[in-house]
Amino acid sequence: MSEMLANRYLMDGDAEKAIELYKKVLEKKPEEVKTRCRLIAALALVDHLEEAVIQLNNLEIASGQHGMLFSACRQILPDDLVTAVQNKLQALAEKKK
C-alpha cells in the first residue's frame, strides 16, 4: 500500500513524500529492486545526489548484479525519470572531477 502511494507521489511530482514512503518500504524489504530504483529516481529529482549514489551502491549489494544496475532501473522507471536521473548523476560526477 505505501509503495503504491509513494509511486503516486513520485508521478505527481512530490518526490519528498515519495522518498519517505520508499524508505519505509525498504526498511522492511531491503532487497526490493524496483522500490530502490524508484527511491534513487526520487532522490535525484530533488538533488539528493550523493544519497542517490549510496542507494545505487546498496542496490548493487542487495541484488548482486554488479554493473547492470542502472539498466535494471531503466526497465522499471519511465523514460523521463531515467533521463533526469542520468543527467543529475552525470552532473555530480563532473563536479567531482
pLDDT tens for each residue of the chain, 97 residues long: 788 999 999 889 899 999 999 999 999 988 888 888 889 889 988 888 788 878 877 776 655 554 556 666 777 777 777 777 777 777 776 776 6
Q: Is 65 helix (H, G, I), strand (E, B) or coil?
A: coil
Distance CA 24, CA 69 (A): 21
Pick the CATH number of 2-95 from 1.25.40.10, 3.40.50.720, 3.30.830.10, 3.30.1490.20: 1.25.40.10
Residue 66's pLDDT is what?
47
CB 38, CB 7: distance < 8 Å: yes
Q: Where are the domains of the chain?
A: 2-95
- CA 62/CA 31 separation, integer angstroms: 5
Q: What is the pTM of this model?
A: 0.73
